């Protein structure tokens, strides 16, 4: 699609393209199935103009992994909603059974060129900047598991409602994959659950069951699975009664220090990511993790 190509071409970092230390290609995956790039929308947006509330349904089978295409679509949808002054609230939820989002698509980081990894990371940053800094009230209706980037996605929202199902888990489990949550993932978590909880959670790569997640404040409310969406809608109605301008300024005051840090360090953050993720040892960890996922299934 033309808009997708346009957004992607904007996302390429010229500095990265010319960086010779990143000039190597990662080893090609031999055992990992590359999924076909489906052209069907990965996100469905329902916008009710009478309430001013939009609902974003993530619908990228099997597990709503955050691929380059997915994130590009997400950013475009967000941009459109943000520009519509009538749109005051956004609920994010999943149309996939049992999974909110499996986090970043590992296949975008495994066996890919440094240029691709840079392009991918730029759109991950973009998603975070847009959502964490959104003027809208944002609510995550977490109706399934939400590891790593999926947890980050929900942490960018103003309020998290999770299905009370012990089969589900949520957390920043990056260290379990042999990778490191970057500073802005870490700070988003600190801003939500505090320094000590974050330190333990991140070092151990903890995935929390809903009850534990509620205890440390990683989610705000647990509800029966079939009520996640209705409670999110009721909560949105309450949040929208607060005077808009005052709420927005307060949100910016709380979040801008972290947002500004990434905004002023975007290039360096991309370079860090690319040089880290393309290391042979890190590629090996990602491969082993994907193998483990497949074995668990078998
Ligand atoms: C010095 C500092 C420098 C800073 C450098 C920065 C470093 C990078 C930071 C990166 C930050 C974030 C990373 C991530 O988000 S990585 C993703 C982590 N995600 C996970 O660990 C979740 C893995 N998935 C699961 O646990 C399960 O799939 C699930 C979500 C609980 C669902 O379980 P299920 O039983 O319903 O489904 P399952 O059979 O496991 O999966 C179905 C198929 O989907 C594939 N798959 C699952 N998750 C991913 C994924 N994240 N990316 C790509 N593919 C995924 C899985 O392999 C199955 O595939 P197939 O059907 O067998 O082909």
Give yes or no: 174 in active site: yes
What pLDDT shows up at residue 38?
A: 64
**Which one is catalytic: 73, 108, 126, 174?**
174
State which of 22, 101, 102, 125 you would mutate to test the pocket of ligand 1, scoring each by most atoms of that ligand within 8 A of its C-beta. 102
Q: Where are the domains of the chain?
A: 2-297
Ligand 1 centre distance from Cα of residue 100 (Å): 12
Ligand 1 centre distance from Cα of residue 150 (Å): 9
Query: What is the spatial distance between Cα 106 and Cα 292, in angstroms, rounded to a whole number?
Result: 13
Give yes or no: 104 in active site: yes
Query: What is the spatial distance between Cα 18 and Cα 76, in angstroms, rounded to a whole number?
Result: 28
What pLDDT shows up at residue 4?
A: 40
What pLDDT shows up at residue 3?
A: 39
Tens place of pLDDT per residue across the chain (298 aa): 333 443 443 333 222 222 223 332 333 333 344 454 567 899 999 999 999 999 999 999 999 999 999 999 999 999 999 999 999 999 999 999 999 999 999 999 999 999 999 999 999 999 999 999 999 999 999 999 999 999 999 999 999 999 999 999 999 999 999 999 999 999 999 999 999 999 999 999 999 999 999 999 999 999 999 999 999 999 999 999 999 999 999 999 999 999 999 999 999 999 999 999 999 999 999 999 999 999 997 7
- Is the CB–ligand 1 distance for residue 297 below 6 Å? yes
- Is the CB–ligand 1 distance for residue 298 below 6 Å? no
- Is the CB–ligand 1 distance for residue 272 below 6 Å? yes
Ligand 1 centre distance from Cα of residue 9 (Å): 26
Query: What is the spatial distance between Cα 18 and Cα 28, in angstroms, rounded to a whole number?
Result: 22
* Burial grade of 243 (CB within 10 A; 0-12, 13-18, 19 or more): exposed
ipTM above 0.95, yes or no: yes
What pLDDT shows up at residue 25?
A: 31
- Is the CB–ligand 1 distance for residue 106 below 6 Å? yes
Q: List all residues 6 or more positions away from 138 whose beta carbon is below 8 Å from its beta carbon.
A: 89, 90, 91, 92, 131, 156, 157, 158, 159
Q: SS3 breakdown of the chain: % helix, strand, coil, rounded to 5?
A: 55, 15, 35
Q: Diameter of the chain by CA atoms? A: 55
Span 2-297 CATH architecture: Alpha-Beta Complex (3.90)
């Amino acid at each position: 699609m033309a808009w997708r190509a346009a957004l992607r071409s904007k996302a390429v970092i010229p500095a990265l393209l010319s960086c010779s230390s990143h000039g190597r290609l990662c080893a090609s995956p031999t055992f990992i199935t590359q999924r076909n790039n489906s052209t069907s929308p990965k996100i469905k947006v329902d916008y009710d103009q009478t309430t001013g509330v939009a609902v974003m349904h993530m619908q990228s089978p099997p597990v709503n992994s955050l691929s380059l295409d997915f994130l590009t679509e997400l950013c475009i949808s967000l941009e459109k909603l943000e520009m519509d002054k009538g749109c005051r609230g956004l609920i994010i939820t999943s149309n996939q059974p049992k999974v909110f989002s499996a986090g970043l698509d590992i296949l975008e980081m495994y066996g890919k060129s440094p240029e691709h990894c840079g392009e991918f990371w730029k759109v991950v940053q973009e998603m975070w900047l847009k959502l964490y800094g959104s003027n809208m009230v944002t609510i995550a209706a977490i109706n399934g598991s939400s590891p790593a980037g999926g947890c980050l996605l929900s942490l960018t929202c103003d309020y998290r409602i999770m299905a009370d199902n012990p089969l589900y888990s949520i957390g920043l489990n990056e260290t379990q994959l042999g990778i490191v949550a970057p500073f802005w993932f870490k700070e988003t978590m600190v801003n939500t659950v505090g320094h000590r909880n974050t330190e333990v959670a991140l070092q151990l790569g903890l995935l929390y069951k809903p009850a534990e997640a509620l205890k440390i404040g990683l989610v705000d409310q647990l509800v029966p699975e079939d009520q996640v969406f209705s409670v999110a809608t009721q909560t949105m109605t309450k949040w929208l009664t607060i005077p808009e301008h005052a709420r927005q300024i307060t949100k910016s005051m709380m979040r801008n220090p972290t947002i500004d840090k990434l905004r002023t360090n975007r290039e360096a953050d991309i370079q860090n990511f690319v040089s880290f993720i393309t290391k042979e040892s890190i590629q090996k960890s990602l491969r082993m993790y994907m193998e483990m996922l497949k074995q668990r299934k078998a």
